[in-house]
Amino acid sequence: MPQNEVTEAVRSLRKRLGDTQQQFANRLGMAISTVVRYELSRPPRGKVLRTLEALAVNSAGFREAAIFRNAFFDEFQPGVFQYLRLTPRNEREEELVQALLWAARTSEDEAALQKIEEHLKSYSLVKAQFETAINDAADQFLLVEAYAADGLPPEAIAEESSVTVERVRLWLTVRDALDADVPSLRMLLQSIGLGDPEAGLAASFQVPVSMVKALKKVFSDFGIPILNTDRHAVTQEKQHKQQKRC
């Protein structure tokens, strides 16, 4: 991921939070000189990226969150586009993750572990399908963009690429809105697929809400339903609170 994209995301997040550089430094528990470097010349690395991702999510900065998330994984697996790495969003999810890791490392009940693995494999398949849908949509976008670069009109592009004229026009609109930035498109599709709110995504990626709605249909057309992790997280939190009362 380009360094300037990460530094711009740091600056964008700080402004979204309404912080001065000193206030932002205080929020992160670091010197103001470090924040200045993050915004100008030396982007953050390692765990700081996860902290920034969490701040971005909590302030509805979904585009910035995706940039920090991808930068973190690119640091450990350079050249591999990592666009779907979920992290716990609340106490209940964190407890489940820790319990699963504890069971995997300490349990001697092989039958129970095998049953857990069987369940996880089914979820892994859904996740893989989700990732494939994003890649397929991005590939279709690139195909349309390539024909457009050759000067073909939308009707001819539709015929050559075997998609509808309506879809071609949408991809051309997306191209103009995102400056033909495929990583941004993938990040936007990921956030749509995970059920992030339309208005928040439109503001974060600086695109019309109508485009987000249209891209939702594109995503579902590839055979994968839109997830709703926010609703699931809220449901889990409510269940956890009810258990505590009992």
**For position 62, what pLDDT does the model report?**
79
For the stretch 100-137, pLDDT in tens is 888 888 888 888 888 888 888 777 777 777 777 777 78
**How many angstroms separate the Cα of 136 from the Cα of each of 19, 207, 224?**
39, 21, 11
Q: Which domains does the chain have, with CATH numbers?
A: 3-76 (1.10.260), 83-246 (no CATH)
CB atoms within 10 A of CB 34: 16
For the stretch 30-80, pLDDT in tens is 999 999 999 998 899 877 887 898 898 888 887 888 788 778 766 654 433
What is the DSSP-derived secondary structure letter of residue 180?
A: T
Query: Are the beta carbons of 237 and 90 closer than 8 angstroms?
Result: yes
Task: Place 8 in a pLDDT band, splitting at 50, 70 and 90.
Answer: very high
Question: Which is nearest to 189 in space by CA: 207, 176, 164?
Answer: 207
Give the residue with greater pLDDT, 79 vs 196: 196
Compute the mean pLDDT over every residue in the chain, rounded to the nearest whole number: 80
**Sequence-separated (6 or more) residues with CB below 8 Å from residue 25:** 31, 32, 34, 35
Q: Where are the beta strands (DSSP E) in the chain?
A: none
CA distance 165 to 143: 14
> 87-91, 97-101, 152-156, 204-208 — which one is most confidently predicted on average?
152-156
For the stretch 183-192, pLDDT in tens is 778 788 888 8
pTM for the full predicted model:
0.54
Dihedral (Cα; 50, 181, 167, 125), 10-degree rounding: -40
Q: Is the dihedral of CA 7, 62, 184, 232 positive or negative?
A: positive
Q: Is the dihedral of CA 96, 97, 101, 102 positive or negative?
A: negative
**For position 195, what pLDDT does the model report?**
79
